[in-house]
Structure formats: structure tokens, C-alpha cells
Structure 1
Amino acid sequence: MDVQQVRSLDEIIKNNLNSEQLKEYNRIHYGRTDHCELKLQDSTLAAGKEHDFEVAAFYFDAAKEVRPPKIIKVGLIQHSIVLPTNEPIDKQRDAIFFKVEKLIDIAASEGVNILCLQETWPMPFFLCTGEKEEWKEFAEAADNGPSFQFLSKLAKKYKMIIVSPILENDNGVWWNTAVVIDENGNYLGKHRKNHLPSVGSFSETAYYLPGNIGHPVFETKYAKIAINICYGRHHALNWLMFGLNGAEIVFNPAATVPEFGESFWGIETRNAAIANSYFTCSINRVGTEVFTTKVGQKEITRSFYGSSYVTAPNGHRTPGLSRDKDGLLVVEMDLNLCRQVKDHWGFNMTARLDMYAKEIKKSLSGE
């Protein structure tokens, strides 16, 4: 079977198990027998059909306690590019803006408070070409570039926090950056990708530098959030630091292909949610992108597999969006679950950070 014909693992399982088997599979694999689907508006379903994108919605409860529930909605958008990669860069970007605006409008109509886009969402993932100068128009300022100006208006209009992963140009130096825009459309801050791959055609060190900001956590109107960009999900200590700094939700915007670890796409961010007692949100781009290099006229094709999903601090997770279709995932969550899971498992209380720090220091000194 062609890998691109597999819409999702969830679909394969659902189509091949009877109801009792499916319930037991869900209990073991997802952590709960029921996916806890949220009812979507008829207008949302109609818009999805009209524009050919998938919309799915789920919720995570927390136990009742003295504190009132702290319920918010998160939205994740996965999407393909629109125009061929040899079209003028401004036209490519504007076409993506037009598509994404429709998805953000739907997210707002479903009450989303915090929305995250995929890694370098306003452009094709040209980092596989080995070329840089040809694509420089995609690099932009974090706080006033085209992407910020576009999303700032939507954030203000819908009172929505928006996480915008872009290719940042800071005085001629490039960074892989996630910009956080607050509910009034203001620039709240940014995080720069800490860990850069140099594996196969993922040679990102040729384009930008490893992050120099550390592990910021942004205290927004709705939640304390952080962003662990793509390859950073392979580093357990990266996840740990966001937790130590107080994150309740950590987003992992990505651009990854089937041959680059799809088998553990559904594992790493889920593990991080469990180990650090916060929600994790995994967003991967979708679709096929074709590039022709200027030197040697070499054709390069990259196909991304979507499969965006959310995991709760107790390890329960949602089904993923499809592998081959634009989509919006809406997840309602009670942030009280973060503290409840911390109290139950005691990971923070039993951590031996002093011992780890001592041994890491010893390892770095070469003793």
C-alpha cells in the first residue's frame, strides 16, 4: 500500500476491530475507552467540507476540587502549501495566508483561546535544498514582519493567543523562531529552536543558529505556555526545562517526513507530557512539496504526514488528524489536571535534580 494512501493509524484500527475490541484498544492505547469528542457546529462541518479540510474536537476532564475548573480550548492547524515552490515568494506566502485565515476563523467560531501553527508555517520547508540566498525573502522580523502583521489582526479580532513559528531574520542572522502574539494582537515574546538537526537532508545548521534564549514560558491570559520546536522533542532535558519553568502547555510545531522517525512521532511528546505533568500539543505539516535547485536543476520531493494530536498530563491522548489532509484540531482541557497529576505521581517531589546537575557538571568537565 502506498504510504500516502494511509490516512491515519486511527482509521486503520477503527476499520478492523469490532466495537468491544475497539473499546479495549482505546483503553490500552489512548488511555480511555472513549475519545471524548466535542460536538462541532454545523457551520464548522460545512466549512470543512467546502474548503476540504478536516476538523476534529475532543476534551480532557479533571477531577472536581476546591479550585474552580480552569477550562480553555487549544487549536492546532496543520496545512499544506498552496502554490508551486517556483512561484514568486510573496505570492506563495499570501496564498498560505488566505488558506490559514479560513482555518483560524473556524477555530475562533469554536471558541479556541490559544492557537498554534506548524513549524515555519508561511513557507515551504526549503531547508532540504541546500540553498539559502534564493529563499531569503521568506526570512522576516519576529515582531513586525508579514506573518506578525497578518496574525496580529486576527489575534486581536478573536481575543486569541497565537503561536506563529517562522524563519526569523534578526539583523541579517537567521533563526528558527516561534513568535507569541497576545490576545490584543501585541508581540509577547519568542522562542528560538534550541536543537538543530544535521541528519540526511535536514541540515538546518547551514541556515541558522541554535537558539540563544533558553526555555521561556509565556504567562498568557489563558495559560502558561512554551514552545519546543520540532527536533527539540528528541531531547528529554529540553522538555524538562519547560516544565521546571512552569509550563502548563508545551507546543511542538514540526515539519517532519515519514522516513524521519514517524514510528516515534506518537511517543515522544506523549512521554514528555507524562514525565513533566503538562499538556503537549504536536503539530506537523502535511502535503507534498517539490523543489528544483538552482544549481544542477536537481528535483527534491518532500512529503509530510500531519498526524497532529494532543496529550494530557496523565498520558491520555487524542486521535491524530489525518496524514494527508489540511486540518484543525480543537481540544478543550482543564488545566487543573496538571497539578492533580503532579500530586498523584509525585515526580517533582521525587526528582533528583541535584544529583543530575552534579553528574552533568562532571561529564562536561571531562572528569
Structure 2
Amino acid sequence: MANSRENFDEIIKRNLNLEQLKIFNRIYYGREDHCEVKLKESTMTSSKDNNFEVSAYSFTAAKEGRKPRIVKLGLVQHSIVLTTDKPIKEQRDAVFNKIEKIIETAASEGVNIICLQETWPMPFFLCTGEKEEWAGFAESASEGPSTKFLSNLAKKFNMVIVSPILEDDNGTWWNTAVVIDENGRYLGKHRKNHLPSVGSFSETSFYAPGDTGHPVFETKFARIAVNICYGRHHALNWMMFALNGADVVFNPSATVAEFGESFWGIEARNAAIANSYFTCSINRVGTEKFTRKDGSEVSRSFYGSSYATAPNGCRTPSLSRDKDGLLIIEVDINLCRQAKDIWGFNMTSRLDMYAKELN
């Protein structure tokens, strides 16, 4: 029997024979074989010792006149470490310690670009409805403790790191993704464009809608963009990153089961197909419990299930719904151009017509 925290991929694999599984994989995932990448023995040891799962898959492109443009991407989902009543610095440092081990493992596998989940150094306290009590987690995008911590790792491992944080810019808060280049330098940031005000997710009470537009960051390895959490529900948000030249769009999230798990596996996959780029969806795991000032308690449980999709619509299996995890994807960026040539979406898009209607 399936347990309530088992993910869809595990249930399917357990209940189908080999031939049935091939048919299912072809229809659901887009290919019969997941193209798993063999991991080092040291990686598996680190995964076991530090209590996180790890899996790796590849997306290849057809041979052509250009050389393959191979890039290894890493997606990290994780739970918080300490209870939310502990001092803020202790909570953050405990997460730093956990993430350092996962990033070290990713680096040993040659990961070039890694993305962490939405507001990764902190619990997602928005469900409390309280703000100033948690102000210690807000930090500078370019000089905050998270950026300094990850800058050292980026330089050490020659790795681009996407770090979604709660940004404090002269007293104004933003939900921000910081991009750090392989030399450990602050490359830039993107502020979350679309903010939910649904149930306990009333983010407009905490920070402002983004003012950075749809930046695409030219890195040593690929052109990347970040569509933060709720932005995945907006098709035009995905499209703008494509128009600005993205090869890979990360979607770092903090999403609970009652808020769209049924379409978690659909939206970023649709975006990859419609826009001919790779999408990487990251969601945190674990249950976070809070005690408000009035003594009442509230908690939220996140369902992980991070995955990646190629521009031809093929996708990976998901990480666990309840465990920390590292997902590694080896991709050939040439597949973006090839998908565009096959489907002709750019040629048939009629953006002039849409622009007229929108105006």
C-alpha cells in the first residue's frame, strides 16, 4: 500500500511490470528510459551520511554542426533544521551547515549551476501573519549573510548559485533571487513579480511586487532566469523570460499540498514546451510549526517533488515528497534551438496581435 507521503513516481514504478512501465514512461514522461546518470560512490555515501536523496538524469540533443553545449544543473529541496522558536542566527546557521554538505556533493559531480528553494535560509513564516518578529531573516541581496556564505562556495567550486532570499533594501522587503557567478561575485537579482493573496499566503502584507522585470543572466555556462514560486501560474511571466533569451528557467518555490499540488507537475512542464527552454522546479519539504504572539499555533507542510523538464517536453521523475534532496540534470543547451526549429512557436506566435489586444 502507498503511504500518504509517497510520491507518484514510486507508486507507478511499484505497480507496473517492465513493459507496462515503458509504455507509461513514454506517454507520461516523454521517453521510455529516464536516462539515469551513474553517480559516484562518494556521492551515495554523502547522501546517506547527510540524510538526503540524490538522483541524476540526462537530456541529450541530436548531433548537429555545433558542438554539444553540456551543462550540469542542480536542484536542492530541503527542510529547516531547528524549531522556529530558536534564535534566528542559530536557525540560519543550521541551514547553512546542511546546504554546504549538499552543495559539496553537487560540486563533486561537476554541477555547474545550482538553484536553492524559495527563501531557503529560513522557515516560510508568512502563515503566521506576523512580520517584525521575523525581521532578522531579511537581508541585503548583495552583502547579506546568505550571499557571503554562498559566494565562498561558488568560488571554491567554480559554480553559479541561485539563492532565493527575503531581501531587505533600506527597510523595504522583497522576495528575491540572487545570482552569484562562478567567481563568487554578485551577478544580479530578480524580485518576485507576482504575489499571492490566497488563504494564508498573503504575501502582499510582507513585501512588494517585483520591480526588476524579467532579467536573464548571462553566465559562463548558460543564460538563466528565475521565475519565483507563484509566478509559475502566469503564462506571460514564463514567456517574457523566453523573449529575453533564457536557456534555463528555475522555479524555486515554497508550496503546500492544499495550494496546487495537483498542477505542480504541469505548469513548468507546459512552460518548457511553449518556450523551448529547460525548466527546473524546486519545492521545499517538511512541516514548519510556529507559535504566534497570542499563543496560537500554526503549521504548514511542504511536498517537495522537485523535477526538471526539457524543451521537447520530456521530464524527470520527481524527488521525494518528504525528504531533503539533490536532483542533478545533465543537459545539452543545443536542444533549446532544436525544439524551436521543430515546433516553430516563435515563427507562429503572433505577438503583434496579442500586443494590440493587450493595449
The answer to whether the Cα contact below 8 Å between 2:176 and 2:190 also exists between their aligned partners in 1 is: yes
Task: Give the equivalent residue in structure 1 for 2:357.
Answer: 359
Secondary structure in structure 2 of the residue aligned to 1:127: helix
State how 1:166-315 maps to structure 2 within 5 Å: 166-294=165-293, 296-315=294-313
- 1:311 and 1:275 mapped to 2: Cα distance? 12
Aligned residues: 359
Secondary structure in structure 2 of the residue aligned to 1:178: strand
- 1:50 and 1:65 mapped to 2: Cα distance? 42
- 1:325 and 1:143 mapped to 2: Cα distance? 30
| Corresponding residue to 1:350 among 348, 351, 356 | 348
1:153 is the counterpart of 2:142: no
What is the deviation of 1:52?
1.2
What is the deviation of 1:153?
0.1
- 1:181 and 1:57 mapped to 2: Cα distance? 23
- 2:332 and 2:18 mapped to 1: Cα distance? 29
* Runs (4+) off by over 6 Å: none
- 1:266 and 1:330 mapped to 2: Cα distance? 17
Task: Give the equivalent residue in structure 2 for 1:41.
Answer: 40
What is the deviation of 1:2?
8.9
1:98 is the counterpart of 2:97: yes
The TM-score, its normalising length taken from structure 2, stands at 0.99
Letter in 1 for 2:298: I
Letter in 2 for 1:188: L
Letter in 2 for 1:326: D
- 1:158 and 1:51 mapped to 2: Cα distance? 19
Secondary structure in structure 1 of the residue aligned to 2:347: helix
In structure 2, runs of 5+ residues without a counterpart are: none
What CA RMSD, in Å, does the superposition of the two structures yield over aligned residues? 0.9
- 2:84 and 2:13 mapped to 1: Cα distance? 36
Task: Give the equivalent residue in structure 2 for 1:11.
Answer: 10
In structure 1, runs of 5+ residues without a counterpart are: 362-367
- 2:208 and 2:6 mapped to 1: Cα distance? 35
- 1:139 and 1:250 mapped to 2: Cα distance? 25
Q: Mean Cα displacement is larger for which, 42-51 or 135-144?
A: 42-51
Deviations 1:26-46 (A, max 9, x none): 000000000000000000001
- 1:6 and 1:215 mapped to 2: Cα distance? 35
What is the deviation of 1:6?
2.7
Task: Give the equivalent residue in structure 1 for 2:331.
Answer: 333
Secondary structure in structure 1 of the residue aligned to 2:321: coil
Task: Give the equivalent residue in structure 2 for 1:71.
Answer: 70
The TM-score, its normalising length taken from structure 1, stands at 0.97
- 1:305 and 1:357 mapped to 2: Cα distance? 37
Secondary structure in structure 1 of the residue aligned to 2:300: strand
What is the deviation of 1:276?
0.2
What is the deviation of 1:229?
0.0
- 2:275 and 2:127 mapped to 1: Cα distance? 33
- 1:298 and 1:164 mapped to 2: Cα distance? 32
**Is the alpha carbon distance of 1:64 and 1:2 closer, same or farther for their aligned partners in structure 2, counting shifts above 3 Å?**
closer
Letter in 2 for 1:65: E
- 2:249 and 2:67 mapped to 1: Cα distance? 23
What is the deviation of 1:129?
0.5
Deviations 1:308-355 (A, max 9, x none): 000000000000000000000000000000000000000000011000
Deviations 1:268-289 (A, max 9, x none): 0000000000000000000010
Letter in 2 for 1:303: S
Letter in 2 for 1:325: K
What is the deviation of 1:8?
1.1
Deviations 1:95-136 (A, max 9, x none): 000000000000000000000000000000001110000000
Letter in 1 for 2:295: Q
Task: Give the equivalent residue in structure 2 for 1:322.
Answer: 320
- 2:5 and 2:196 mapped to 1: Cα distance? 27
Letter in 1 for 2:169: D
Secondary structure in structure 2 of the residue aligned to 1:102: helix
- 1:322 and 1:67 mapped to 2: Cα distance? 37
Task: Give the equivalent residue in structure 2 for 1:365.
Answer: none
Q: Mean Cα displacement is larger for which, 7-16 or 229-238?
A: 7-16
Task: Give the equivalent residue in structure 2 for 1:364.
Answer: none
The answer to whether the Cα contact below 8 Å between 2:167 and 2:173 also exists between their aligned partners in 1 is: yes
- 1:62 and 1:306 mapped to 2: Cα distance? 28
- 2:6 and 2:144 mapped to 1: Cα distance? 35
